[in-house]
């Protein structure tokens, strides 16, 4: 069958592109290599309990905030969102807790209780984040996109900004303490990434009762209702180029589908790897994309708890060693940082059925199994890592060990298997503020009817991917058309 647009990859970016294009009357087909669509939104069930994989909470979902207009457009606002506590994040450095509060003024007031000598610096910090957030939609206006709050911030260091703004080293660590939702890199992380993501969570923080797969399922139903097609178990194995344009995609090694346009939500390195012959792609370009460094992965311990043993906690907990350097994480050392997320009880109970423990993990720790079966040594590494997570979490949750009923684990290898991300990367290509032109990719490729989308482009995360999906679709529909439709909601 011939389509208007074929989209490779059924993660959030691919599904959102499918939604936008189907809404404009195009015949779209979204191909997903796994049995379940959604990418990092996927969930799994064990013994009647749903576990999330890469999705835990979102920011800026209140009316007038960063994510709100995007989820309004995609018809996602009426999912069972639950607003988190006013003190939505607890950051523990060593033994001492600090709290992040919703609202920029409350955020300052709360941290100023622990750092009264840094109140003015905190006001400067939050005012800057708020201003950057207010300019989020500048990306839809080419006339102001080059203004000081968008593109130039990709070339400015988040680490340097933090040091220029905040005098107290402990406060700098606290402000960096919730950044397991991005890879902190003192030499490379762009200020734009740091500011947009942190600002959205200061606006408001939300969990989703029932798991992140509901987002993907809702988008699939809407795409299909508009005449589109979403195909799981349909891996793109080859892109076929004829006379400088992509004419077809090979699915699962045999079937061929044709279209006028193609969008890849897969990693750019994978996208170009299935395009074996191209008169448009130079060897130097292909080599550069293939060798772009990727962010680290994540190890997750999904902990199923004994029934009625752990009261639900409506905030997140971030644990860090007092001596660790959050901006230069050492994978060769013992675990030193962790994100703890409670699952909302699905039956209205006051006890949580499970908690997730997440900590950074490098691809090097599991790379030896990338092309061979997972053996006893791999299982041993996972068990040891899970035990290290429990031991680390017990510092804040002393009851945890006795409450554990079963633990399910995932590594960067799991992410590669289920989301096809290169090196099991959690946040895609590592954006480099010293080389933004090379690492902050745009949707357009050297082939005129092939475009990119997803977390490997300008900004990762739910918010970043949602913004990028409009950029990608603008290459086909035109920016004026996309912007007008977005503002109409």
Answer whether 31's CB lies under 8 Å from 232's CB: no
pLDDT at residue 411 in the model:
94
Tokens of 100: 């992040």
Whether 455 has a pLDDT exceeding 70, the answer reads yes
CB 434 within 8 A of CB 231: no
pLDDT of 283 strictly over 90: no
Which residues are within 8 A (CB) of 181 and not within 5 positions of it... i.e. 6 or more apart? 197, 339, 461
Cα–Cα nearest to 54, from 419, 431, 371, 308: 419
Look at residue 387 and tell me if it is in a domain: no
Residue 162 belongs to some domain of the structure? no
For the chain, the straight-line distance linking the first and the last C-alpha, in angstroms and rounded, comes to: 31
pLDDT of residue 139: 74
Q: How many residues in the chain?
A: 489
Question: What is the CATH number for 266?
Answer: 3.50.50.60
Q: Is residue 483 part of a domain?
A: yes
Which SS3 state, helix, strand or coil, does residue 336 take?
Answer: coil
- For residues 56-84, one letter each, b for 16 or more C-beta atoms within 10 angstroms of the residue's C-beta and e for the rest, the string is bbbbbbbeebbbbbbbebbebeebebeeb
Question: Which residues 6+ apart lie within 8 Å of 63 measured at CB?
Answer: none
- Asked if 347 and 200 touch (Cβ cutoff 8 Å), the reply is no
- Predicted confidence band of residue 394 (pLDDT cuts 50, 70, 90): very high
Average pLDDT over residues 306-323: 95
Four-CA torsion 475, 478, 480, 481, nearest 10 degrees = -110
pLDDT at 344 over 90: yes
What is the signed CA dihedral for 94, 345, 55, 336, rounded to 10 degrees?
Answer: 20
Mean pLDDT of 268-273: 94
Q: Is the pLDDT of residue 59 over 90?
A: yes
Number of helices (H) and strands (E), helices first, in the chain?
18, 19
Q: What is the mean pLDDT of residues 36-62?
A: 92
Average pLDDT over residues 415-431: 91
Q: Report yes or no on 234 lying in a domain.
A: yes
Q: For a pLDDT cut of 70, what percent of the chain falls above it?
A: 99
Name the pLDDT band for 390 (thresholds 50, 70, 90). very high
- pLDDT tens figures, 135-177: 888 777 766 666 677 778 899 999 999 999 999 999 999 999 9
pLDDT confidence bin for 458, thresholds 50/70/90: confident
Can you give the residue range of the structural domain that contains 462? 2-45+211-293+431-488
63-69 mean pLDDT: 95
Quick one: pLDDT at residue 446? 94
**SS3 of 442-478:** CCECCCCCEEECCCCCCCCHHHHHHHHHHHHHHHHHC
Q: What pLDDT score does 142 carry? A: 67
With a CB cutoff of 8 Å and minimum separation 6, the contacts of 379 are none
pLDDT of amino acid 436 = 87
Cross-strand partners of 236: 251
pLDDT digits (tens, 9 = 90+) for 207-248: 999 999 999 999 999 999 999 999 999 999 999 999 999 999
| Closest of 202, 201, 207 to residue 59, by C-alpha | 201
CA angle at 79 for the pair 75 and 81, rounded to the nearest 5°: 125
Q: What is the pLDDT of residue 141?
A: 72
Ramachandran angles phi, psi of 159, nearest 5°:
-65, -45
- Residue 373 is classified by DSSP as -
Task: Kindly give the residue spans of alpha helices, DSSP state H, lying in 55-118.
Answer: 68-73, 104-112
d(CA 391, CA 8): 41
How high does pLDDT run on average in the chain?
93
pLDDT digits (tens, 9 = 90+) for 3-24: 999 999 999 999 999 999 999 9
Mean pLDDT of 249-254: 94
- At 159 the pLDDT is 97
- Angstrom CA distances, 280 to 161, 242, 286, 439, 448, stand at 40, 11, 10, 20, 9
Structural domain contains residue 479: yes
Residues 441-463, mean pLDDT to the nearest whole number: 93
More confident position, 50 or 125: 125
For the segment 170-190, the average pLDDT, to the nearest whole number, is 94
Residue 134 counted as domain residue? no
Q: CA–CA separation, 177 vs 317, rounded Å?
A: 10
> What average pLDDT does range 388-408 have in this prediction?
95
Per-residue pLDDT, averaged over 366-391, amounts to 93
- 113 — pLDDT class (breaks 50, 70, 90): very high
Q: What is the pTM of this model?
A: 0.95
Q: Which residues contact 473 (CB under 8 A, 6 or more apart)?
A: 17, 20, 21, 482
For residues 460 and 452, what is the distance between their CA atoms, to the nearest angstrom?
13
Spell 24-36 as b/e; 16+ CB within 10 A means b.
Answer: bebbbbbbbbbeb
Going by the DSSP 8-state scheme, the letter that residue 88 receives in this structure is: E
Nearest of 216, 405, 402, 203 to residue 304 by alpha carbon? 405
Is residue 340 within 8 A of residue 319, CB to CB? The reply is: yes
Token pair of 188 as six digits: 């490379």
Number of domains, the chain: 1
Question: Among residues 102, 104, 110, 103, which one has the least CA distance to residue 126?
Answer: 104
């Amino acid at each position: 069958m011939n389509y208007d647009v074929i989209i490779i990859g059924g993660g959030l970016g691919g599904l959102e592109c499918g939604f936008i294009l189907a809404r404009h009357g195009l015949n779209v087909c979204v191909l997903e290599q796994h049995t379940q669509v959604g990418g990092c939104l996927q969930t799994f069930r064990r013994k009647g309990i749903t576990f999330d994989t890469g999705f835990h909470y979102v920011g800026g979902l209140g009316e007038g905030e960063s994510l709100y207009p995007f989820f309004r457009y995609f018809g996602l606002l009426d999912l069972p969102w639950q607003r988190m506590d006013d003190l939505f994040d607890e950051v523990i450095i060593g033994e001492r807790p600090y709290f992040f509060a919703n609202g920029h003024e409350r955020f300052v007031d709360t941290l100023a209780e622990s750092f009264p000598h840094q109140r003015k610096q905190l006001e400067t910090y939050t005012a800057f984040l708020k201003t950057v957030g207010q300019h989020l939609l500048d990306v839809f206006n080419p006339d102001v996109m080059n203004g000081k709050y968008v593109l130039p911030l990709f070339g400015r260091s988040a680490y340097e900004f933090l040091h220029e703004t905040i005098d107290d080293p402990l406060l700098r660590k606290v402000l960096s303490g919730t950044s397991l939702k991005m890879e902190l890199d003192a030499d490379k992380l762009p200020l734009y990434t740091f500011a947009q993501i942190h600002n959205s969570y200061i606006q408001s923080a939300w969990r989703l009762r029932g798991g992140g797969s509901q987002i993907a399922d809702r988008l699939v139903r809407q795409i299909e209702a508009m005449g589109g097609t979403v195909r799981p178990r349909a891996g793109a194995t080859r892109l076929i180029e004829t006379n400088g344009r992509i004419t077809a995609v090979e699915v699962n090694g045999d079937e061929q589908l044709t279209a006028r346009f193609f969008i890849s939500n897969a990693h750019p390195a994978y996208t170009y790897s299935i395009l074996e012959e191209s008169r448009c792609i130079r060897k130097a370009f292909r080599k550069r994309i293939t060798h772009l460094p990727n962010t680290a992965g994540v190890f997750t311990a999904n902990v199923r708890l004994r029934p009625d043993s752990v009261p639900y906690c409506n905030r997140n907990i971030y644990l860090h060693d007092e001596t660790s350097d959050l901006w230069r994480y050492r994978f060769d050392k013992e675990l030193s940082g962790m994100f703890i997320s409670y699952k909302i009880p699905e039956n209205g109970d006051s006890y949580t059925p499970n908690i997730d423990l997440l900590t950074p993990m490098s691809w090097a720790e599991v790379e030896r199994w990338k092309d061979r079966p997972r053996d006893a040594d791999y299982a041993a590494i996972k068990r040891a890592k899970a035990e290290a997570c429990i031991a680390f979490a017990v510092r804040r949750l002393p009851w945890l060990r006795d409450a554990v009923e079963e633990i399910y684990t995932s590594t960067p290898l799991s992410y590669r298997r289920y989301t096809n991300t290169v090196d099991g990367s959690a946040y895609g290509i590592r954006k480099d503020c010293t080389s933004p032109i090379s690492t902050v990719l745009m949707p357009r490729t050297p082939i005129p009817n092939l475009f990119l989308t997803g977390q490997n482009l300008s900004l990762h995360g739910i918010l970043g991917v949602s913004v990028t999906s409009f950029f990608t679709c603008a290459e086909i529909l035109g920016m004026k058309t996309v912007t007008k439709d977005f503002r109409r909601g």
